[in-house]
Amino acid sequence: MPPETVTAPSAQVLAVCRVHALREDEGPVGVTAIDKRPVDGPVTVGPLGLRGDVQADRRFHGGEDKALYAYADEEAALWSAELGKDIPPGLFGENLRTLGLGTTTAVVGERWRIGAAVEVEVTSPRIPCSTFARRIDEERWVKRFSDTGRVGTYLRVIRPGPIEAGHAITVVHRPAHGVTVGRWFSERSPADARLLHDAHAGGLIRLCESMLDAVQTMLARTDAEG
């Protein structure tokens, strides 16, 4: 089946965010780079993310499969209404705040063109952690964030180049398996695991290591249970 090209002329990058300053943190590393803030002008993005950005704990953050974290402004607006405070770009530690394009609703393996040059690929949902909870400072934040399923997505950089606020985003490929980042995070099933496994095995998508491990574990458990 040929790739599906989806035009979304209103979809764009609302803000490009990178680390403002390392902050002290109670986690094992002692510091966190979650304090991301919008930057002006173009920023070069490569296989490991935005130039000038860092990740403090690279056991769980960063790397080629999590080069960028994207979150939709529409979902941030829902949190703003629920919490009664502003959720500006970067507050959730995202590198890209999108407008007019879902991130949690993106299909695993979906590809976006950003601006004229950059191409990225949807890899996996964001797993909230205690550092994120300390950043937001809301009661039972990890559970609340998880329960909504509005988790955003990590991205792999396929083609590097400059990106900046206002750049258009076009979905240039959407895999036929249909498993979205949000569905896998909130409602994963053996059927979804099989869809992702077969798409990966057939070379239609390239699952990141954490997703592949989760898929294989679910299928092995399902087979063992008969």
Q: What is the pLDDT, as a whole number, of residue 106?
A: 98
Tokens of 74: 């529409």
Euclidean distance between the first and final Cα of the chain, in Å? Answer: 32
Q: pLDDT, tens digit, for every residue of 32-81?
A: 878 899 999 999 999 999 999 876 555 656 689 999 999 999 999 999 99
> Which structural domains are found in the chain, ordered by start?
12-184 (2.40.33.20)
Rounded CA separation 135/118 (Å): 30
Q: pLDDT, tens digit, for every residue of 117-141?
A: 999 999 999 999 989 999 999 999 9
How far does Cα 191 stand from its chain's mean position? 23
CB-side neighbour CA atoms (13 Å) of 170: 11
CB-side neighbour CA atoms (13 Å) of 209: 7
